[in-house]
């Protein structure tokens, strides 16, 4: 039956299909849109049937890919139609065209609600389906209670209840608060006793979401889940209609096992035993059959069971069974199974240490790296990356480098990053590491980010033994006719620093090195030239005894670039020229770069950042978050642990002693004037961790300014915590004098304010000073709240801020008088110019009655 | 969860789209274009999963149509592959040996069926029998309403002659 029930619609579709080309189609579509638009405007003449027809036409046109920018109103209005056919169309078209961000949808909330709480079952179903598919936050707030009621109502038929379950799931996802956990956990347990499989399947999906966010509350559901699995495994009393190719509701099995993965352990031994029996049966009993669908279904259950076994961290025997299975899978012909085998093996790595067993399959995995299917290649790459350790690093990295030759561009950047990280982490010796990185740059220069070559330079600088080797290698690469610009950068830098170590060798005299590098100058871009200039300067300096011909050559180059447009180049050229005139002093200035301090590899951080976030925390992700990333330690011990959230808590300002001294000195002077200055006598405890040092360290590797680290931090915290040490402003209250006693512990307040954006700064019987701060990178806006606690006005109010040199502050006018029991706000603009640990001091004075405070 | 469902023909024409996550009209067009490019060019012997933008897209080709469903990284791929098959089997039962033409002219029916199968991106009903029964019930409601309307208009037509 090819023709639809609506003749007008069929005719239209036929017309479209008969169009010879895009132009004709466009014309026909526009004609129809015009027609529909006019008919819609003239509402009176539109029968419900016609409205339906036009709304479907609109959807069809939309599906063809044209913009349909009107008619949403009509679709939504059909929702309020009294009769089923129109209502149905309204609901469905709305759910296809609109999404939760459309304002129109709000208009329908009331009608939808009426349908949900009304008696008409079919209307209820329509409404629940719509809300379940495209409901947003507002729907969540107004409809959740009604939906919940339907779900647990015994007078509702399964048809309605299963929709209610999924509808509630959506609302919960949009606003987790709509499900009141206390009341709901018992209900969920009850729902799991449900006989109807439709309702049970839907409820299980709901359970997965609930448990993912809070497994504590739903412990009672755990045994029920196991019971469900048992029932399905025994295959008794499962209605025929729920058996899929002989497998009892595979989807329900999968969902139940997924739910179980969110409970950390299973306490009750008998439950645990039953579960393991079921799992064992699945693991052993899943055969490969001819029927594709049966195969897929049974294997979907198998893979989920594998995931569950991994999660439960079962006995070694079961685990090795799993790995054996996976080992079999990655070698089968069927690509889906191979893909899943690789994927699950990668997951296994995270969870237990089955690395040795997995390594046995290394050869097969490497073969998969060359599979014609890109999805499989990706999985193989991830797995190799995960299973790499000191013993197989060399092989794996070499394979990956080979693969780089043929990999498609979308994968190269990731591949380069991974190769660099593996080489770094597991290098048997450093010269191999340098080799690998240089090879990497050679093969895939475009995809090698700056972090990578910065890192290799860092290593070479920190390891004296490595320097001659690196220099030699760099020179070798320069011999090649066409090399990538990054290679030029690296080689030039290294040779600049260390070519003097090679001076004795053939072909490595300063002059030769210089001409090798200089040959490449015409081929590089403006960003590389500054590096080359520095290199020349260093070569010049290192040439002992001085070679005047070389000197002249190099000086000529500097002179040439003295008037270059690019500021960096010009600056370097000019400065080097001047420096070269200084003679001996040149040695000190152009001495070798000092060693770099140890920090967490920015590469590893980068790799971690590229993992995407999802709405529901997968059980798998929750596990991996517990792993800490290892900071690289090839030379020195890493001093930083460097996970951003930690740095927040550790941030406490240490007022510099000089500052305090200065304040005390001030105080001595101002006391006769009776100005109240408040000094914090002891520095706050808890020295900041080394992370602070890292953040403040102006290292080349850092690349972008410390401020750039801000966004990552802010995303991580989600609370208004003072972003960085360098940015957190603390107005140090300085306390002295016996006249007016402040209330509360100033030092405590001060500490609190360093960590929070708002709070009370200072309080005494007459006045309370509070602060509220808002920060954007290095720019801040504070508001000082001056509150008069008494019934008499405070006059002659004066507030002065003494900013330290690294801050620029602007305080708006402070009023002379603060009326009784009133609060006055004074905004304060702050710009942080540089990192520093100094504090600003607020000098505050006022007159109370006759007393000057 | 399933984020969206796409049915695309071999030539890249869209036969059905259903979105369970908020995508603007512009984003939808972009998604369709990107995925069409990726999926339609895949050979027959390759696996049914592609990785795209941090998500996975499970797809299966039935005759001239590609059925695609986009899921999260950690979802079970084979399960979704069978949801696709489940959908196709139901369509087959309803239309009696379904072909692409059926879906072109009766795309609205396809939407009704999909709504009985998936809500909020999760499987709603795994019994084909139940789904078939529900759709049949809906159809008869619509038929009944039509008859009522036509009989009414007959009466009016007669009366106003």
Q: What is the pLDDT of residues A755-765, one digit of tens each?
A: 555 666 666 66
**Residue A693 above 60 pLDDT?**
no
Tell me how crowded residue A566 is: count the other CB atoms within 10 A of its CB: 14
Lowest-pLDDT range of A46-55, A338-347, A436-445, A591-600: A591-600
Distance, in angstroms, between B49 CA and closest chain A CA?
Answer: 7
Q: Does A623 touch chain B (CB under 8 A)?
A: no
Lowest-pLDDT range of A574-578, A664-668, B114-118: A664-668
Domain total in chain B: 1
Pair of tokens at residue A609? 């950042």
3-state secondary structure of A505: coil
Nearest to B47 among A1, A258, A376 (CB): A376
Residue A710 burial by CB count (10 A; 0-12/13-18/19+): exposed, middle or buried? Answer: middle
Q: How confident is the model at residue A684 (pLDDT cuts 50, 70, 90)?
A: very low
Which chain A residues are Cβ-neighbours of B104 within 8 angstroms?
13, 17
Cβ A799 vs Cβ A809: under 8 Å: no
Which chain B residues are Cβ-neighbours of A303 within 8 angstroms?
76, 78
Cβ A339 vs Cβ A309: under 8 Å: no
Most confidently modeled of A250-259, A285-294, A488-497, A666-675?
A250-259
Q: Indicate yes or no: CB of A10 within 8 angstroms of CB of B105.
A: yes
Q: Which residue of A has its CA nearest to B134?
A: A159
Q: Indicate yes or no: CB of B72 within 8 angstroms of CB of A616.
A: yes
pLDDT in tens, A608-646: 655 433 333 444 444 444 433 332 323 322 233 322 322
Q: Does A161 touch chain B (CB under 8 A)?
A: no
**Residue B56 above 90 pLDDT?**
yes
Q: Which residue of A has its CA nearest to B58?
A: A336
pLDDT in tens, A37-81: 888 777 666 777 788 888 888 888 888 888 777 778 778 888 888
Instruction: Please name the residue that has the structure tokens 């950390």.
Output: A264
More confident residue, A752 or A420: A420
Q: Which residue of B has its CA nearest to A238?
A: B127
Is A7 flagged in the annotation as binding?
A: yes
Give the DSSP H/E element, type plus range, for residue A231: helix A221-234
Lowest-pLDDT range of A292-301, A473-482, A663-672: A663-672
Lowest-pLDDT range of A96-110, A508-522, A701-715, A774-788: A701-715
**Residue A719 above 70 pLDDT?**
no
Q: Indicate yes or no: CB of B22 within 8 angstroms of CB of A99.
A: yes
- Rounded to whole angstroms, the Cα distance separating A784 from A811 reads 9
Q: Indicate yes or no: CB of A4 within 8 angstroms of CB of B106.
A: yes
Q: How confident is the model at residue A653 (pLDDT cuts 50, 70, 90)?
A: very low
- Rounded to whole angstroms, the Cα distance separating A65 from A121 reads 35
Q: Indicate yes or no: CB of B120 within 8 angstroms of CB of A1.
A: no
Test mutation, B12, B47, B60, chain A, max A CBs within 10 A:
B47
Q: Write down the pLDDT at residue B80.
A: 94
Which chain A residues are Cβ-neighbours of B112 within 8 angstroms?
88, 92
Residue B104's alpha-carbon distances to A18, A66, B3, in angstroms, are: 13, 17, 23
Cβ A251 vs Cβ B79: under 8 Å: yes
- Rounded to whole angstroms, the Cα distance separating A173 from A99 reads 15
Q: Which residue of B has its CA nearest to A171?
A: B120
Q: Indicate yes or no: CB of A64 within 8 angstroms of CB of B78.
A: no
Helices (H) and strands (E) in chain B, counts: 5, 7
Which residue, A39, A49, A102, is CA-closest to A78?
Answer: A49
**Residue A302 above 70 pLDDT?**
yes
Q: Which residue of A has its CA nearest to B12?
A: A64
What is the domain extent for residue B48? 2-160
Q: How confident is the model at residue B65 (pLDDT cuts 50, 70, 90)?
A: very high
What is the ipTM score, two decimals? 0.90
More confident residue, A515 or A774: A515
Distance, in angstroms, between B160 CA and closest chain A CA?
Answer: 18
Is A57 flagged in the annotation as binding?
A: yes
Torsion of CA A73, A75, A78, A84, to 10 degrees: -170
Q: Does A247 touch chain B (CB under 8 A)?
A: no
Cβ A674 vs Cβ A853: under 8 Å: yes
**Residue B82 above 90 pLDDT?**
yes
Residue A688's alpha-carbon distances to A368, A725, A732, A777, in angstroms, are: 48, 9, 18, 20
Most confidently modeled of A228-237, A406-415, B23-32?
B23-32
Nearest to A303 among B45, B76, B85 (CB): B76
Domain containing residue B135: CATH number? 3.30.450.60
- Rounded to whole angstroms, the Cα distance separating A791 from A371 reads 83
Distance, in angstroms, between B94 CA and closest chain A CA?
Answer: 10
3-state secondary structure of A314: coil
- Interface A–B counts its CB contacts (< 8 A) at 200
More confident residue, B128 or A614: B128
Pair of tokens at residue A102? 């459309």
Q: Kindly state the average pLDDT of the residues A19-41.
A: 85
More confident residue, A773 or A574: A574
Most confidently modeled of A114-118, A268-272, B43-47, B69-73?
B69-73
Q: Which residue of B has its CA nearest to A619?
A: B74
Q: Kindly state the average pLDDT of the residues A463-478.
A: 82
Q: Indicate yes or no: CB of B120 within 8 angstroms of CB of A173.
A: yes
Nearest to B101 among A2, A159, A375 (CB): A2
Tell me how crowded residue A507 is: count the other CB atoms within 10 A of its CB: 10
Q: Indicate yes or no: CB of A122 within 8 angstroms of CB of B138.
A: yes
Handedness of CA A165, A170, A176, A178 (dihedral sign): negative
**Residue A744 above 50 pLDDT?**
yes
The architecture of the domain spanning A746-852 is Sandwich (2.60)
Q: Which residue of A has its CA nearest to B121?
A: A133
Is A56 flagged in the annotation as binding?
A: yes
pLDDT in tens, A365-388: 888 888 888 889 989 998 888 888
- Rounded to whole angstroms, the Cα distance separating A121 from A157 reads 9
Domains of chain A by residue range: 463-595, 746-852
- Rounded to whole angstroms, the Cα distance separating A26 from A624 reads 52
Cβ A250 vs Cβ A298: under 8 Å: yes
Which chain B residues are Cβ-neighbours of A338 within 8 angstroms?
47
Cβ A99 vs Cβ B27: under 8 Å: no
**Residue A749 above 80 pLDDT?**
no
Which chain B residues are Cβ-neighbours of A173 within 8 angstroms?
120
pTM above 0.80, yes or no: no
Nearest to B14 among A5, A65, A85 (CB): A65
- Rounded to whole angstroms, the Cα distance separating A493 from A520 reads 13
Q: Indicate yes or no: CB of A122 within 8 angstroms of CB of B120.
A: no
Q: Write down the pLDDT at residue A795.
A: 63
Q: Indicate yes or no: CB of B51 within 8 angstroms of CB of A378.
A: yes
Cβ B89 vs Cβ B58: under 8 Å: no
Q: Indicate yes or no: CB of A2 within 8 angstroms of CB of B102.
A: yes
Instruction: Find all residues with CB under 8 Å of A808, minimum gap 6, and list them.
Output: A830, A831, A833
């Amino acid at each position: 039956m090819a023709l639809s029930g609506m003749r007008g619609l069929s005719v239209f579709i036929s017309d479209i299909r008969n169009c010879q080309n895009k132009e004709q189609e466009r014309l026909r579509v526009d004609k129809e849109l015009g027609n529909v638009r006019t008919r819609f405007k003239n509402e009176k003449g539109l029968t419900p049937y016609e409205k339906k027809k036009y709304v479907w036409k609109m959807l069809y046109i939309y599906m063809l890919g044209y913009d349909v920018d009107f008619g949403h109103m009509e679709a939504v209005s059909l929702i309020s139609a009294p009769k089923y056919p129109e209502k149905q169309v309204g609901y469905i078209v709305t759910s296809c065209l609109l999404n939760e961000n459309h304002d129109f949808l709000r208009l329908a909330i009331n009608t939808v609600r009426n349908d949900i709480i009304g008696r008409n079952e079919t209307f209820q179903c329509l409404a629940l389906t719509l809300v379940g598919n495209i409901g947003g936050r507002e729907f969540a707030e107004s409809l959740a209670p009604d939906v919940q009621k339907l779900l647990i109502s015994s007078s509702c038929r399964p048809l309605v209840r299963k929709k209610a379950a999924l509808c509630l799931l959506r609302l919960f996802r949009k606003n987790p608060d709509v499900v009141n956990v206390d009341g709901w956990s018992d209900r969920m347990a009850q729902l799991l006793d449900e006989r109807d499989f439709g309702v049970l399947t839907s409820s299980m999906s709901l359970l997965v979401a609930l448990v993912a966010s809070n497994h504590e509350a739903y412990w009672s559901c755990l045994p029920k889940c196991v019971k469900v699995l048992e029932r399905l495994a025994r295959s008794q009393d499962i209605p025929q209609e729920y058996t899929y190719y002989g497998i009892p509701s595979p989807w329900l099995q999968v969902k139940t096992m997924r739910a179980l993965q969110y409970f950390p352990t299973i306490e009750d031994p008998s439950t645990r035993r039953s579960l393991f029996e079921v799992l064992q049966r699945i693991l052993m009993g899943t055969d490969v059959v001819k029927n594709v669908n049966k195969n897929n279904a049974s294997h979907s259950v198998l893979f989920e069971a594998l995931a569950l076994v991994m999660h439960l961290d079962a006995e070694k025997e079961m685990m090795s069974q799993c790995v054996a299975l996976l080992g079999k899978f990655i070698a089968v012909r069927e690509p889906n199974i191979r893909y899943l085998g690789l994927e699950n093996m990668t997951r296994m790595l995270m969870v237990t240490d089955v690395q040795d067993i997995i390594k046995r399959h290394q050869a097969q995995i490497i073969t998969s790296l060359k599979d014609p299917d890109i999805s499989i290649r990706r999985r193989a790459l991830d797995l190799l990356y995960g299973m790499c350790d000191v013993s197989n690093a060399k092989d794996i990295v070499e394979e990956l480098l080979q693969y780089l030759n043929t990999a498609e561009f979308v994968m190269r950047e990731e591949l380069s990053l991974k190769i660099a990280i593996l080489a770094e982490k597991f290098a048997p010796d450093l010269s191999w590491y340098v080799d690998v990185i240089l090879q990497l740059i050679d093969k895939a220069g475009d995809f090698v980010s700056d972090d990578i070559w910065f890192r290799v330079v860092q290593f070479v600088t920190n390891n004296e033994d490595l320097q001659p080797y690196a220099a030699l290698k760099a020179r070798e690469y320069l011999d090649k006719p066409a090399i990538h610009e990054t290679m030029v950068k690296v080689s030039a830098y290294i040779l600049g620093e260390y070519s003097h170590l090679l001076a004795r060798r053939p072909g490595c005299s300063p002059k030769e090195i210089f001409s090798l590098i200089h040959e490449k100058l015409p081929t590089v871009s403006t960003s590389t030239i500054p590096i080359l200039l520095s290199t020349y300067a260093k070569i010049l300096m290192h040439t002992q005894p001085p070679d005047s011909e070389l000197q002249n050559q190099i000086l000529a180059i500097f002179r040439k670039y003295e008037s270059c447009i690019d500021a960096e180049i010009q600056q370097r050229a000019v400065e080097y020229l001047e420096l070269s005139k200084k003679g001996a002093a040149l040695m000190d200035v152009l001495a070798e770069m000092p060693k770099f301090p140890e920090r967490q590899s920015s590469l590893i951080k980068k790799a971690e950042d590229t993992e995407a976030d999802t709405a529901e925390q997968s059980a798998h992700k929750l596990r991996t978050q517990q792993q800490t990333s290892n900071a690289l330690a090839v030379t020195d011990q890493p001093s930083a642990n460097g996970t951003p959230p930690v740095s927040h808590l550790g941030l406490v300002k240490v007022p510099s002693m000089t500052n305090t001294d200065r304040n005390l000195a001030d105080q001595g002077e101002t006391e006769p004037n009776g100005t109240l200055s408040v000094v914090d006598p002891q520095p706050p405890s808890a020295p900041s961790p080394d992370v602070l040092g890292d953040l403040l360290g102006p290292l080349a590797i850092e690349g972008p300014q410390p401020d750039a680290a801000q966004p990552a931090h802010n995303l991580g915290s989600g609370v208004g915590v003072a972003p960085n040490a360098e940015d957190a402003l603390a107005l140090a209250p300085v306390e002295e004098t016996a006249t007016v006693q402040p209330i509360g512990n100033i030092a405590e307040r001060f500490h609190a304010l360093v960590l929070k954006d708002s709070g009370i700064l200072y309080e005494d019987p007459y006045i309370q000073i509070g602060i509220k701060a808002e920060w954007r990178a290095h720019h801040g806006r504070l508001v000082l709240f001056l509150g008069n606690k008494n019934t008499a006005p405070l006059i002659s109010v004066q507030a002065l801020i003494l900013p330290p040199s690294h801050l620029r502050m602007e305080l708006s006018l402070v009023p002379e008088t603060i009326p009784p029991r009133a609060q006055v706000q004074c905004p304060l603009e702050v710009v942080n110019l540089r990192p520093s640990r100094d504090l600003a001091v607020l000098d505050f004075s006022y007159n109370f009655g006759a007393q000057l405070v | 969860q399933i984020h969206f469902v796409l049915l695309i023909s071999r030539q890249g024409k869209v036969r059905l789209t259903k979105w369970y996550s908020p995508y603007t009209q512009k984003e939808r067009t972009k998604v369709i274009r990107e995925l069409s490019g990726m999926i339609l060019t895949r050979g027959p012997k390759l696996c049914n999963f592609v990785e795209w933008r941090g998500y996975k897209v499970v797809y299966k080709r039935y005759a001239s149509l590609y059925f695609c469903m986009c899921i999260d990284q950690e979802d079970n791929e084979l399960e979704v592959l069978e949801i696709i098959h489940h959908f196709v089997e139901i369509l087959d039962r309803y239309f009696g040996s379904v072909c692409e033409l059926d879906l072109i002219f009766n795309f609205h029916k396809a939407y009704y069926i999909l709504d009985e199968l998936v809500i909020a991106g999760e499987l709603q009903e795994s019994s084909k029998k139940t789904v078939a029964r529900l759709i049949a019930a809906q159809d008869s409601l619509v038929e009944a309403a039509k008859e009522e309307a036509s009989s009414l208009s007959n009466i009016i037509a007669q009366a106003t002659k």
